[in-house]
Amino acid sequence: MQRHWGGYTSPLDYVRIKDGGKMYDLIIIGSGPAGLSAALFGGRYSLRTQVIGSILGGAMAEAWEMQNYPGFKSISGVELAQKMKEQVEAFDVKIVQDEVIKIKSKKSKIFQVMTRSGKEFESRALILALGTQRKTLNVPGETKYHGHGVSYCPTCDAAFFRNKTVGVVGGGDAAITGALLLERYAQKIYLFVRGEELKGEPANIKRLKSKGHKVEIIYNVEVVEIRGNQTVEGVKLNNGKEIKLDGIFVEIGATPASALIKDIGVETDERGYIKVDENQRTNVKYVYAAGDVTNAMGGFKQTITAAAQGAVAAASAYRDLTQS
């Protein structure tokens, strides 16, 4: 038998009327593929939903070319993010470009979200789609030349190195795809790999190795210093060799951006990734997490898996908010 709350068919309808409709049912923190997918499903479930994120598309926006997202033979991360945004906004979901700096859990089981611009929002449920933060080399010269030859975003900065010599640090998918993009602009690319082999999608590795002498892969090395004058002029390797460069791109992975959630008691694993169950629920009621910030999918972190987790998180929020 279906219960009724003062003539309303669910507890969510009841509390919406009680608070005058001023509060959000769902706030999604992060505007990458996980956050945007969650927003789409939140809108489709008729939840009063808002997305807050500093960069539309998140890390996906840095992808110059994506060939592994269903429905698109080839698409840039920026273009895919824009298409997602348009689809989300068709369901009256607001997307706010801002940075969340604090989350509080109030005694009334309402979450208060504060942003860097000084705005405050309240919601009955949260989806944490916080993504990750890029790792740095932590070597001399890295901070000094950041923005003057040191970059963490080939998509953003590749065009500045047309006909130049550049280096890429890393041996995974991000480094490989970064080098493939840079090959379109730079005269010469060095790929510095700490291990003995590349660890990425076989198709991308094959493409990279087909570039001939333009891309030189150096294995079993580490960059120990970045040198220059006003801008980057070269790097020193741990084998003592020095290589002249006009720029260096660091693509050595990322760490979960989970520091924001400590005040509300959300649990993380030993690496800092948010623990979630198969329904993207965290240990805190009405708090869910999706995308690269979670420990889900066995560490397989792709745009498509982030989007899937966002959809599941929104479905879980809907079920929990409307259950009897």
Output the pLDDT for position 11.
54
Return d(Cα 24, Cα 39) in angstroms, integer.
Answer: 12
**Which has more pLDDT, 4 or 97?**
97
246 in catalytic set: no
Output the pLDDT for position 253.
86
Average pLDDT, the chain: 91
Catalytic-labelled residue, pool 19, 92, 156, 269: 156
**Beta carbons within 10 angstroms of residue 279's beta carbon:** 13
Output the pLDDT for position 8.
44
Q: Which of 18-22, 80-84, 206-210, 291-295 has the lowest mean pLDDT?
A: 18-22
Residue type, 228: G
- In order of 93, 123, 126, 211, 314, the CA distances from 113 in angstroms are 17, 8, 9, 48, 18
Residues contacting 117, CB < 8 A, separation 6+:
98
Q: Is 128 helix (H, G, I), strand (E, B) or coil?
A: strand
| DSSP secondary structure string for all residues of 167-216 | EEE-SBHHHHHHHHHHTTT-SEEEEE-SSSS-BS-HHHHHHHHTTGGGEE
| Percent of the chain residues past pLDDT 90, beyond the cut | 75
Q: In what order do the strands lie in the sheet with 215-218?
A: 150-151, 247-250, 165-169, 188-192, 215-218
Output the pLDDT for position 10.
54
Could you report the per-residue pLDDT of 118-144, keeping only the tens digit for each?
A: 999 999 999 999 998 889 999 999 999
Return d(Cα 297, Cα 132) in angstroms, integer.
Answer: 16
**How many CA atoms lie within 13 Å of 256's alpha carbon, on the beta-carbon side?**
26
Whether the CB-CB separation of 142 and 252 falls below 8 Å is answered with no
Domains defined along the chain, listed by start: 11-134+255-322 (3.50.50.60), 150-250 (3.50.50.60)
Average pLDDT rounded to a whole number, residues 86-98: 96
Return d(Cα 70, Cα 257) in angstroms, integer.
Answer: 27
92 in catalytic set: no
Whether the CB-CB separation of 226 and 238 falls below 8 Å is answered with no
Q: Which of 5-14, 75-84, 183-192, 226-235 has the lowest mean pLDDT?
A: 5-14
Average pLDDT rounded to a whole number, residues 291-308: 90
157 in catalytic set: yes
Output the pLDDT for position 308.
97
Could you report the per-residue pLDDT of 165-221, keeping only the tens digit for each?
A: 999 999 999 899 999 999 999 999 999 999 999 998 999 999 999 998 899 999 999
